[in-house]
Structure 1
Amino acid sequence: MKNALNILQFAMDMELQGQNFYASFSDKVDNPVARKMFQSLAKEEKRHYDILKKEYDSIEVNQEWSGMEDLEAYKGENIFEVRKEAEDISPEELKTSTSDISILRMAYLIENDFAEFYKKAIENTEDPKGKKMLETLYEWENEHRKVFYEEYQKAMKDNWFDQGFSPF
């Protein structure tokens, strides 16, 4: 169970760092879609931390994974829905500054690290309940990774065109 506790402790630390990152940068980005995504993800990473803490405490007491059958109840708003809301925002409001591009890239890298960590943790967990829980967390983080990658790519291309330049 020591391995499980180590995995969960590291994951809890990562989720708190993610929450802090999104909360601190949500008011620093110019793009309203990125701002809403960051606000949503700050809450989401807090929920992930709560899930991990609950499981950590359960393992400490019971010496086994609980499996948290109600894991889906912890899932926050779908980040794709946040992006869909952007369709109602005028193109002028959606301009992305170069600092936004750097922040979006950092967010993508954070989510990439989370997804890769959970993928490795799954490989190093033998308990079926533990694997299932980590697989769910992997799926959530992988979804975030995809969204940020797409937003980063879009911001880069928009910025190129705004500058009258395109490498293609």
Structure 2
Amino acid sequence: MPELQSQVHLRRRHVLHTRLRRPRVGQARSTRGCPMNVRHILTYALQREREGKRFFEENAGRMAHAAAASIFRQLAEEEQRHVDYIQALLRRLAASDGVDDALPAPDPEPDVGPDSLFTARAVVEHLDQSVIESMIPDVAVLRTAYLIERDFAELYETAAERAEGQAKDALLALARWERGHERLFQELHDRVFDMYAGMPWGG
């Protein structure tokens, strides 16, 4: 009996551990070999992109400095471009009865080019110190923005691993765009946080 009870106890611990390791929302399970429904992935991504756009729009209105607000407004515009692109993909899929090879090739997005406004380090380095100081109360918002963009990128990369042809190209393009945004907010968050950490207590 003690041996049986021990086995039951170990089984319960295994079940609990399995539950705790559920993937985050937006992170697909690893199911290699299973067919992927591109339409379902894109429909879910469309919902998430709209949520991201709302987040940036709402927080643009809360930023104390105009330059900081401008970054969030432009990110909202970029998320709208992603929404438009995903909607175009879904329309093409619907018109082709779900044939992935009918997807349009992605257009390059200016926010990831070497001369782009959203080249992360260049954006952050050109921000005036007063802008960085004004964003100290919003360091948690910057962290959330970084996590949003990281989750988007991981979603598209995970889906792309199981896609083929033009569907894969489209998902990888979306992932690249989101990685550019992720780098921007990581750089911005780190600079704001460094300034906050260096302030005297009560400063």
Determine which of 128, 142, 149 is the counterpart of 2:179. 142
Using structure 1 for the length normalisation, give the TM-score. Answer: 0.84
| 1:30 match: secondary structure | coil
The worse-fitting range, judged by mean Cα deviation, of 1-10 and 110-119 is: 1-10
Provide the rounded CA distance (Å) in 2 between the counterparts of 1:113 and 1:152.
Answer: 16
Q: Which residue of 2 aligns with 1:124?
A: 162
Determine which of 37, 53, 62 is the counterpart of 2:71. 37
Stretches of structure 2 lacking an aligned partner (at least 5 in a row): 1-34
Using structure 2 for the length normalisation, give the TM-score. Answer: 0.71
| 1:46 match: secondary structure | helix
Q: 1:31 to 1:158 in 2, by over 3 A?
A: farther
Determine which of 149, 164, 170 is the counterpart of 1:133. 170
The worse-fitting range, judged by mean Cα deviation, of 102-111 and 61-70 is: 61-70
Provide the rounded CA distance (Å) in 1 between the counterparts of 2:91 and 2:70.
Answer: 32
Q: Which residue of 1 aligns with 2:4?
A: none
Q: 1:135 to 1:70 in 2, by over 3 A?
A: closer
Q: Which residue of 1 aligns with 2:103?
A: 67
| Residue 114 of structure 1 pairs with residue 136 of structure 2 | no
Determine which of 89, 107, 123 is the counterpart of 1:84. 123
1:96–1:158: 8 Å Cα contact kept in structure 2? no
Provide the rounded CA distance (Å) in 1 between the counterparts of 2:170 and 2:179.
Answer: 14
Q: 1:130 to 1:95 in 2, by over 3 A?
A: same
Deviation (angstroms), 1:107: 0.2
Provide the rounded CA distance (Å) in 2 between the counterparts of 1:147 and 1:85.
Answer: 8
Provide the rounded CA distance (Å) in 2 between the counterparts of 1:16 and 1:83.
Answer: 27
Deviation (angstroms), 1:130: 0.6
RMSD: 2.5
Provide the aligned length of Structure 1 versus Structure 2: 161
| 2:132 match: secondary structure | coil
Which structure has the bigger radius of gyration?
2
2:42–2:90: 8 Å Cα contact kept in structure 1? yes
Provide the rounded CA distance (Å) in 2 between the counterparts of 1:97 and 1:2.
Answer: 41
Percent of matched pairs sharing the same residue: 24
What letter matches 1:136 in structure 2? A
Stretches of structure 1 lacking an aligned partner (at least 5 in a row): none
Deviation (angstroms), 1:124: 2.2
Q: 1:15 to 1:2 in 2, by over 3 A?
A: same
| Residue 4 of structure 1 pairs with residue 42 of structure 2 | no
1:121–1:134: 8 Å Cα contact kept in structure 2? yes
Deviation (angstroms), 1:36: 1.8
Q: 1:130 to 1:117 in 2, by over 3 A?
A: same
Q: Which residue of 2 aligns with 1:13?
A: 47
